[in-house]
Amino acid sequence: METIDSKAYLDMDLLRFTTAGSVDDGKSTLIGRLLYDSKSIFEDQMEAIELASTGKGEEQVNLALLTDGLRAEREQGITIDVAYRYFATPKRKFIIADTPGHIQYTRNMVTGASTANLAIILVDARKGMVEQTCRHAFIASLLKIPHIVFCVNKMDLVDYRQEDYEKIKSDLEAFASKLEISDVRFIPISALNGDNVVDRSEKMPWYEGSTLLYTLENVHISSDHNHVDCRFPVQYVVRPQKDEYHDYRGYAGRIAGGVFKKGDQVMVLPSGFTSKIKSIDTLDGELDEAFAPMSVTITLEDEIDVSRGDMIVRENNSPQAEQNLDVMVCWLNPKSLVPNGKYALKHTSKDARCMVKEIKYKVDINTLHRIEDDKEIKMNDIARISLRTTSPLFFDRYDRNRITGSLIMIDEATNETVGACMVI
């Protein structure tokens, strides 16, 4: 029997990535390939999809059926909703958000991208860069995914020709240079045959870069969190009804940025009161310091009024505290944005309401040009808008902090999440 080294398992880190591409670019096949070649598919899952593939009269086992979990998806052969998949190699543990390429489901791509460290964008080697590719690359850069890997897929269908790959690569490079992406990579692959996915392709000796799996295992992610600006949104106040903790008031939350240390001088927003960190508590004992994205409970030396929605920060490094802010919004709902409309809003642990004061411009995702004459914001549109909130929010620019720089808009009548906003 194979023995798992539990110590090594405990040392692995976590990479969250998203996959995007147009319909039929082979996303699901690629994920199936990664799971299959890293031996993360079990026999009964394989049997189930073999059975389903033969049932549909397909000759090869359709790896896409592994991720297309909903009945409607399997029937139509498309991915409707974000599907999460998991696999691990001895180096790293992976969470994949497989997002649909279908145009009306772009909101799912935004969803998958919002928590990702890395994005894989698939491009069909026969078609090259298409409108969807631009859209996906733009969304990935808008959501500040730190690493983007363009996989030029279906190389087998262009006879593994280097010139085809180089042409697509230079088109993509030209487009990507217009976006703010810190780390862009390109890999020619065939997801169907496994070329350059896990194993190096023998058919493309001209390609000297890493395989996709090697890239996923080795990309540097520990600096993806902000460890500079201390931000602690208070989520919940712990007040034990126990004799031994009679006067205990603990502020529970997940650190959104920076490093908090016992004894640190801190300030609470919005009150502006200052105090010192008395302790950082966990069930496993007190900690000397805590950093993003840890969940801890902080107690303060002084008895001051702190509740959910407040934020604990360092005195000399405050976020912006404003009622007026400009955001890039990605609209997620079939009902268009209402100019001057009022919406509920959630930002870190804070609830508020807002009014859309101004629609500044929409972005043409293909050319990245500003559209200033058509200001109707429909589903899948991306626009810059100005909001006025009922009470001040404590925020940073999204490119500085993905947690304190993001917020969602909610339709107060339907309670649906309608807008994903990034502070600029």
Partner 1 sequence: MNYSLTHLKELEAESIYVLREVAAQFERPALLFSGGKDSIVCFHLARKAFFPGNVPFPLVHVDTGHNFPETIEFRDNLVEKYGAKLIVGSVQKSIDEGKVVEETGYNASRNSLQTVTLLETIENGKFDCAMGGARRDEEKARAKERFFSHRDDFGQWDPKNQRPELWNIFNGRKHMGEHFRSFPISNWTEMDIWQYILHEKIEIPSIYFSHQRECFKRDGVWYAACDFMKRKPEEEVVEKTVRFRTIGDMTCTGAVESTASDLQQIIDEVASTRVTERGSRIDDKRSEAAMEDRKKQGYF
Q: Does 78 contact partner 1 by CB under 8 A? A: no
Q: Does 104 contact partner 1 by CB under 8 A? A: no
Cβ atoms < 10 Å from Cβ of 332: 20
User: Cα–Cα distances in Å, from 116 out to 17, 18, 96, 300?
Assistant: 5, 6, 9, 33
Q: Shortest distance, CB of residue 240 to partner 1, whole angstroms?
A: 4
List 241, 305, 316, 373, residue binding partner 1 (CB under 8 A): 241
DSSP, collapsed to helix, strand or coil, labels residue 344 as: strand
Q: Does 293 contact partner 1 by CB under 8 A? A: yes
Strands (E), 154-219: 183-188
Beta bridge partners of 147: 118, 183
List 23, 72, 157, 368, residue binding partner 1 (CB under 8 A): 72
Q: Does 416 contact partner 1 by CB under 8 A? A: yes
Cβ nearer to partner 1, comparing 91 with 203: 91
Written as six digits, the tokens of 216 are: 């996923």
Judge contact between 231 and 254, C-beta under 8 A.
no
List 185, 203, 308, 360, residue binding partner 1 (CB under 8 A): 308
Q: Shortest distance, CB of residue 332 to partner 1, whole angstroms?
A: 5
DSSP, collapsed to helix, strand or coil, labels residue 24 as: coil
Judge contact between 134 and 172, C-beta under 8 A.
no
Q: Does 247 contact partner 1 by CB under 8 A? A: no
Q: Binding string, 348-367, against partner 1, x = CB under 8 A?
A: xx------------------
Cβ nearer to partner 1, comparing 186 with 260: 260
List CB contacts of 197: < 8 A, sequence separation 6 or more: 30, 33, 34, 37, 189, 190, 191, 211, 212, 213
Q: Binding string, 200-219, against partner 1, x = CB under 8 A?
A: --------------------
Token pair 């919002």 is found at 114
Q: Which of residues 383-402 bind partner 1 (CB under 8 A)?
A: 402
List 85, 135, 147, 154, residue binding partner 1 (CB under 8 A): 85
List 24, 37, 38, 45, residue binding partner 1 (CB under 8 A): 45
Q: Shortest distance, CB of residue 305 to partner 1, whole angstroms?
A: 17
CA atoms 404, 346, 352, 375: torsion sign: positive
Q: Does 246 contact partner 1 by CB under 8 A? A: no
